[in-house]
Amino acid sequence: MSATISGFSKLSKSEKIDWIVSHYLSNSETAKHTIIQYFNSDSELQQLHDEFIENTISNYYLPFGVAPNFVINNTIYAIPMAIEESSVVAAASNAGKFWMARGGFKAEVLSTTKIGQVHFMYPGDFEDLKQYFDTIKPKLITDTKAITANMEKRGGGILDIELRTRTEDLNHYYQLHATFETLDAMGANFINSCLEQFAKTFKAEAEEHLNAPIEIVMSILSNYVPDCLVRAEVSCKVEALEDKGISGQVFAEKFVRAVNIAEVEPHRAVTHNKGIMNGIDAVVLATGNDFRAVEAGVHAYAVKNGKYTSLTHAKIEDGIFTFWMEIPLALGTVGGLTGLHPLVKVALEILGNPSAKELMKIVAVAGLAQNFAALRSLTTTGIQEGHMKMHLMNILNQFNATNEEKEFIVNHFKNNTVTHSAVVSEIEKIRQ
């Protein structure tokens, strides 16, 4: 079935579909129907989606949901989330409602510095290089004025450029390590444009000042932003945690122990942090930001001290339970998809058209809430009971259950444990 092709990108959309269907899909008519049925009936909207990426043949839908009842810094939010995993939105909603009655979430942005680097090789004397850098640094900044003018008008721009040596790790390897403030823009294109101009100026001027050549390897922003930090937390008196027949003290102690385990055991920490990212990624995606960049930066931060550990922390002190998290988040509310994707515009409006700093707080809170909900389930009823009830409809849809079958089986499992085999058994009973 497989095949190669030259000039695929030059084919029309329908020609691309026909080629894929004929060479890679066995049931061609069914496959083609599936691809086409996800087209948007609005031709202008479909063209907009087609032009987001290359070689588009269809749209891939994710559910777009809302988790209401979030109080963040005394403001009420309904948080939009785009995700396919069962129980994530429900868990976030439950956590939001739980803490609404206990003072809500607090969040603050600690710093917003972003990073970019020019990576280069230099086989000559370091002192010569350092002297050259000190001489050329003002020109590096001056030569980017055409790029930075608009950003500077809004209060952002280049913060600093440092020369860093990494020759202990790799022979002749150095960096121009630059820091930026990009305000409400995520800033990737802005940062990369500045870096490429740094590299151009740095190399061109080097010929007059250095006896050894500079080789520019690459110029690129970093998605590791440990100085673009936001903190989110919740706290209340321990007795206020009493819930579902469990005393506040017992709940708090068990909850703290669960967090402590994630702090010391990497196998648990990875799954623990994945749960945090369920909440974070869903909001990042809904608001048109880059969840891959966020994931990479957050997980790098989790290992910043040399061992992978929990991103969240918890304590009981003087009768007060506190649960908190500090994470790096480089987000934007202007540029990119934020001004193009219609649902992204809706998501941002639901959130009150936040600034990048406000969005950082909301996203961090969504992650903290998700983690709280998961640990609350794990340390009390167990996580599968709630998750499988939310997953029930997915199982029924896998077996093409009718509406009548769904209604009967959902009622049956209101008072019975949901497992895949138990659901299949009920379907078979009905159909017999």
Q: Which of 50, 85, 108, 263 is catalytic?
A: 85
Residue type at position 367: G
Query: Which range has the top average pLDDT, 23-32, 54-63, 407-416?
Result: 54-63
State the Cα–Cα distance between residues 357 and 184, nearest whole angstrom: 7
In order of 79, 269, 405, 416, the CA distances from 426 in angstroms are 36, 37, 9, 11
Amino acid 322: pLDDT = 98
How is the chain split into domains, by residue range? 8-50, 69-107+230-381, 114-221, 386-431
85 is catalytic: yes
What is the H or E stretch that residue 64 is in? Answer: strand 64-72
Q: Check whether 1 has a pLDDT greater than 70.
A: no
Phi, psi torsion values for 64, nearest 5 degrees: -115, 105
Residues 56-68: pLDDT tens digits? 999 999 999 999 9
Phi, psi torsion values for 348, nearest 5 degrees: -65, -35
What is the H or E stretch that residue 114 is in? Answer: strand 114-121
Q: Tell me the helix, strand and coil percentages in the chain, rounded to 5.
A: 50, 20, 30
Q: Check whether 239 has a pLDDT greater than 90.
A: yes
Amino acid 230: pLDDT = 98
Amino acid 33: pLDDT = 95
State the Cα–Cα distance between residues 382 and 380, nearest whole angstrom: 6
Q: Cα(first)–Cα(last) distance of the chain, in Å?
A: 39
- Classify residue 178 by burial, with Cβ atoms within 10 Å: 0-12, 13-18, 19+: buried
SS3 245: coil
Residues 253-265: pLDDT tens digits? 999 999 999 999 9
Q: Which of 13, 137, 172, 274 is catalytic?
A: 274
Q: Which of 281, 341, 387, 426 is catalytic?
A: 387
- The region of weakest confidence among 25-29, 77-81, 237-241, 318-322 is 25-29
State the Cα–Cα distance between residues 272 and 311, nearest whole angstrom: 8
Q: Check whether 388 has a pLDDT greater than 70.
A: no
Contact between 331 and 363 under an 8 Å Cβ cutoff? The reply is yes
In order of 45, 141, 282, 293, the CA distances from 49 in angstroms are 6, 37, 20, 21
User: DSSP of 76-97, one letter per residue?
Assistant: EEEEEEE--STTHHHHHHHHHH
28 versus 75: which is more confidently predicted? 75
Amino acid 398: pLDDT = 79
**How many CA atoms are closer than 13 Å to the CA of 426, on its beta-carbon side?**
21
Q: Check whether 387 has a pLDDT greater than 60.
A: no
181 is catalytic: no
pTM of the model: 0.88
Amino acid 62: pLDDT = 95
Between helix 383-398 and helix 88-100 the angle, nearest 10°, is 140
Mean pLDDT of 145-165: 97
Q: Check whether 400 has a pLDDT greater than 90.
A: no
130 is catalytic: no
Mean pLDDT of 359-366: 98
Q: Check whether 12 has a pLDDT greater than 70.
A: yes
CATH architecture under which domain 69-107+230-381 falls: Alpha-Beta Complex (3.90)
**Top-level CATH class of 114-221?**
alpha beta
Maximum C-alpha span of the chain: 87
Q: In the structure, what pLDDT confidence band is assigned to residue 391 with cuts at 50, 70 and 90?
A: low
User: DSSP of 329-398, one letter per residue?
Assistant: ----SBSGGGGT-HHHHHHHHHTTS--HHHHHHHHHHHHHHHHHHHHHHHTTT-HHHHHHHHHHHHHHHH
Q: Check whether 425 has a pLDDT greater than 90.
A: no
Q: Check whether 417 has a pLDDT greater than 80.
A: no
Amino acid 51: pLDDT = 92
Looking at the DSSP assignment, which residues form a beta bridge with residue 160? 179
Q: Check whether 210 has a pLDDT greater than 80.
A: yes
Q: In the structure, what pLDDT confidence band is assigned to residue 315 with cuts at 50, 70 and 90?
A: very high
What's the whole-number average pLDDT of the chain? 93
HEC string for 145-170: HHHHHHHHHCCCEEEEEEEEECCCCC
Amino acid 421: pLDDT = 79
Closest by alpha carbon to 363, among 252, 255, 289? 289
Q: In the structure, what pLDDT confidence band is assigned to residue 390 with cuts at 50, 70 and 90?
A: low
SS3 235: strand
Q: Check whether 419 has a pLDDT greater than 70.
A: yes
Amino acid 384: pLDDT = 52
Residues 105-117: pLDDT tens digits? 999 999 999 999 9
223 versus 243: which is more confidently predicted? 223
Amino acid 385: pLDDT = 58
387 is catalytic: yes
pLDDT > 90 in the chain, percent: 82
Q: In the structure, what pLDDT confidence band is assigned to residue 383 with cuts at 50, 70 and 90?
A: low
Closest by alpha carbon to 308, among 300, 317, 296? 300
Amino acid 171: pLDDT = 98
